[in-house]
Chain A
Amino acid sequence: MTEPVLAVEDLHVWFDLEQGGELHAVQGVSLALQTGERFGFVGESGCGKTTTILALMGLLPSSASVAGRVLLEGEDILADGEESVSPHRWTDIAMVFQGAMNAFNPVKRVGEQIAEPMKLHEIAEGRTARRQVGELLERVGIPAARASSYPHEFSGGMRQRAAIAMALACKPKVLLADEPTTALDVMVQAQILQLLIGLADDFGLTLVLVTHDLPIVAQVCSRAAVMYAGEIVEIGATDTLYHDPRHPYTRLLFAATPDLYDEEPVLSIPGTPPRLDRELVGCPFAPRCDRAFAPCDRVKPRLVATDTGHSAACHLNDPALKAAS
């Protein structure tokens, strides 16, 4: 088994709250990705998936504190905080942000902004940079001549593509994509996803896709993690998550997906996620769970392997506990 290109060990993130106290936004996330893998993060808004990937690049505000390790090809890049993580930004890990529309500075030309990291990290400049920018734009399906346009002159879909091109400017090893298709219409979504898959193959990228839109994960990712209240509650192959989920939340999530050909009503999960500014007792999903039983309110379930390469954090997977109730 080769060394994972990106490994996260027990990552925690807290945010200071204005009124005092803190919010435990990410609670012990761990995972390991192989080169070329396409991995998904799913969950409701506010579950901590965006914070997790921002933490991978150290893009946290001063109100944040972090614990745990982020290993890029074996090296802990968070060891010294901002100091140790910033050299790896864009050159090793890059990101396509949520709402890429706003990722561009409105008063500068698109080509200039794509070339900026090239120049900064001394990869290319001047004419060489311009040529590479042109090539990148063409690769994402934008005519190279548009490099001299301003962001507001692009459509939403084009800006998204341009943002992807910009993310690849320094040929990173890992590409993080946060909700890359939200706010785009369906046709464009499909194109962007195809693009991402194609680019991942061509550039040998490891792709991490964050989304609340499940069919996307099914289409693009081979493995995924389901997050709830700051933790991973289930992680494994996307197929298994779909057809044989081991956590009630996963099951309800995927069941809530309306099928065009199905007559079944759309399920919604009643209730709200728990507040993260205080300690939780028991399973965080218990209040909303349809299969909760005795131990769920008192004991927090750990993430345990249910099969090779698959883990879930639910008491229902523990035969001993089930027998006892």
Chain B
Amino acid sequence: MRGADYFLKRTLFALVTVFVAITLNFIIFRATPGDAVTGLRCQFCTVEFKDQLRAELGLDKSKWEQYVIYLQSLAEGDMGRSFVTREPVVDELIDPLLNTLPMIALGTAFSIVFGILSGVVAAWRRGTFLDWGNLSFSLLFYSLPTQWLGLMLLIVFAGTLPASGIADPFLAFTDPSWWDTFVDRLEHMILPAATIGIVLYGEYALIVRSSLMEALSEDYVLTARAKGLRNWAIVWRHAFRASLLPVATLIALSLGYLVAGAILVEAVFSYPGIGLVTYDAVTERDYPVLQGAFLILTLSVVFANYLADLLYFKLDPRVAE
């Protein structure tokens, strides 16, 4: 079957990367000068408490033993307990993750749609003012630091849109309809999503433009024109389809940015997603939570990349070669 071993190769790669990430997670947190407990700052962290914690975490055992215990716990879904709340890390991460997903989905959808539109227009109208204008805007948006853009949007929209959180705390008391809750959630999501979306839009517009320009200079475009196809049909049915692969590749590569963006905007907007959890964990040096968040984020990206790999094959059958 065509592509069967491509599928297998990509699956294997994804699994190995996951394993590398897990091990990396372990190495970073355990193989450091001094151990994780020493730098801990919290109200009840006395010396006795820290020693007890060390024993509990098994930090007094050999590194190899620790590694094995670590892998075993992971297999059981146990990521330890938060230093701060003493709750299982897993519980601390699930809900925030579910909060983050729709928010970045919204931002990404925005940036993909407008990025593609801009890129196509710019490539088609190459050399005109539209192209130049699009290029300038894209470059500009691409250069803005995410957290700064978030802060600026916050200042501008402070009155009209909610400045933080995920929901209006008082809404629940008024027995809201499904629609009211939805609108409320959306209002809280828009600013963080827009922040991520605007910076990402810049990048995507640039990528689509150059990819499409490349496609439009290929010979098969001349053939299509020779066959009598109209310009728009050539762009849509030939050039665009052929340029999708590089576009998809680079969208996949920007997944790393999405994660960074999520952390930064959730900090700015106090949006209770996994980014905010990471931010708090860093501030409080809550290592188990930080470790868990890192793992979740990495696994998400690896998984998304894997899905993208499978999609590539559909877009351009040559990748299997």
Given contacts A107-B315, A150-B317, A150-B318, whether A102 and B228 have CB atoms under 8 Å apart is no
Residues in A with CB closer than 8 Å to B227 are 89-90, 116-117, 120
Known: A95-B226, A152-B317. 19 other contacts (CB 8 A): A59-B226, A89-B228, A90-B226, A90-B227, A97-B222, A99-B219, A102-B220, A103-B222, A104-B220, A104-B223, A105-B238, A105-B242, A106-B316, A106-B318, A107-B241, A107-B242, A107-B318, A120-B227, A120-B228
**Pairs across A and B, CB under 8 Å, 27 listed:** A59-B222, A86-B228, A89-B225, A89-B227, A94-B226, A95-B226, A97-B219, A97-B222, A97-B223, A97-B226, A99-B219, A102-B218, A102-B219, A103-B219, A105-B238, A106-B242, A106-B318, A107-B241, A107-B242, A107-B245, A107-B315, A107-B317, A116-B229, A120-B228, A120-B229, A152-B318, A152-B321
A108 at the interface (CB under 8 A from B): yes
Select the residue from A87, A116, A152 with max chain B CB neighbours within 10 A.
A116
In angstroms, Cα B79 to Cα A226, docked, is: 80
The proximity string for B residues 294-321 relative to A, scoring 1 for CB distances below 8 Å and 0 otherwise, is 0000000000000000000001111001
Question: Closest chain A residue to B317 by CB distance?
Answer: A150
Residues in B with CB closer than 8 Å to A108 are 238, 241
B126 CB → nearest A CB, Å:
11
A57 at the interface (CB under 8 A from B): yes
Contact with B225, one of A59, A91, A106 (Cβ below 8 angstroms) = A59
A251 at the interface (CB under 8 A from B): no
Residues B227-282 near A (CB distance < 8 A) = 227-229, 238, 241-242, 244-245
Residues in A with CB closer than 8 Å to B222 are 59, 97, 103
Q: How many residues of A contact B (CB 8 A)?
A: 24
Q: Which residues of A come within 8 Å of B, CB atoms?
A: 57, 59, 86-87, 89-91, 94-95, 97, 99, 102-108, 116-117, 120-121, 150, 152
Residues in B with CB closer than 8 Å to A106 are 220, 242, 316, 318
In angstroms, Cα B315 to Cα A106, docked, is: 10
A275 CB → nearest B CB, Å:
25
Is A105 in contact with B220, judged by CB distance below 8 angstroms?
yes
Question: Closest chain A residue to B233 by CB distance?
Answer: A120
In angstroms, Cα B245 to Cα A131, docked, is: 31
In angstroms, Cα B221 to Cα A106, docked, is: 11
In angstroms, Cα B318 to Cα A91, docked, is: 31
Residues in A with CB closer than 8 Å to B228 are 86-87, 89-91, 117, 120-121
The 9 closest A-B pairs by CB, nearest first: A102-B219, A89-B228, A105-B220, A117-B227, A103-B223, A90-B227, A107-B242, A90-B228, A107-B316
A62 CB → nearest B CB, Å:
10
